[in-house]
Amino acid sequence: MSTSDYAQEAVYRDGQIRLDGAVDWRDGTRLVVTPVLPLEAQGYLDGHVIIAGFGLAGRCIADLLDNAKLPYTILERNPVTVETQRALGRRIILGDATTAKTLMEAGFTDAAILALTIPDEDAVLEATSLARRLRPEIYIIARTNYSSKGMKASQLGADDVVKAEQAVALQFYDKLSRRIRRIPQESEHPISGGTVSP
């Protein structure tokens, strides 16, 4: 059976997703519904966002902000990426978040959020410490590879930390739990047709 066999109409109402008909899925199959609601920028963000690093995480944040029509500035060390993104009309600065000069050039004094998506954990820690000293009230979300560095980023002032190690662990758990919890075929059932199999 393909996933298209399970397609159904769904209605969002009162904070819940409701399916029009009964769902006949195998036992153990989980349903995760994440509604994608329109983002309303008014009243939620006072200032722009600075995205430090324009790899996959930085691009995802930029897409989110584009959809919400919220302003942002990108800090990136790769000159080719900077040139490409400028040609696409994005506000991007060649530099990194570990220097006050680059942060100020990105409008740090008026920014509401600093998203540190760079893969270099030491640079993330340095930028977190610097940003917290310069602007104690700014919201900082940082990326680290390991939980231990994530704890250090929190100690240095990050409000939230995305830890790659934990994200990978959750993906393994999710994918393997679905595999382990599969429904046995009829011939594998200990009870078949109401009688106990030998």
Structural domain spans, the chain: 49-169
Q: Burial level of 105, CB count in 10 A (0-12/13-18/19+)? A: middle
Calculate the CA 50 to chain-centre distance: 16
Q: How far is CA 63 from each of CA 51, 52, 72, 77, 124, rounded to the nearest angstrom?
A: 12, 14, 11, 20, 22
pLDDT at 153: 97
Task: Give, in order, the Cα–Cα distances in Å from 31 to each of 1, 27, 37, 38.
Answer: 16, 11, 18, 22
What pLDDT score was predicted for residue 134? 96
Q: What local confidence, expressed as pLDDT, does residue 197 receive? A: 38
Largest CA distance in the chain: 76
Residue 59 CB burial class (10 angstroms; 0-12, 13-18, ≥19): middle
pLDDT, residue 171, reads 87
Cα-based distances in Å from 89 to 50, 67, 83? 16, 15, 10
- The rounded distance, in Å, linking the Cα atoms of 42 and 68 is 10
Fold of 49-169: Rossmann fold (3.40.50)
Q: How many residues does the chain have?
A: 198
Question: pTM, whole model, 2 decimals?
Answer: 0.70
**CA-to-CA dists, residue 141 to 32, 156, 158, angstroms:** 25, 12, 6
Torsion sign across C-alpha atoms 19, 21, 22, 27: negative
Show pLDDT as tens, one digit a residue, over the chain (198 residues): 444 444 555 655 555 555 555 555 555 454 555 555 555 544 467 889 999 999 999 999 999 999 989 999 999 999 999 999 999 999 999 999 999 999 999 999 999 999 999 999 999 999 999 999 999 999 999 999 999 999 999 999 999 999 999 988 888 888 888 778 754 555 544 444 444 434
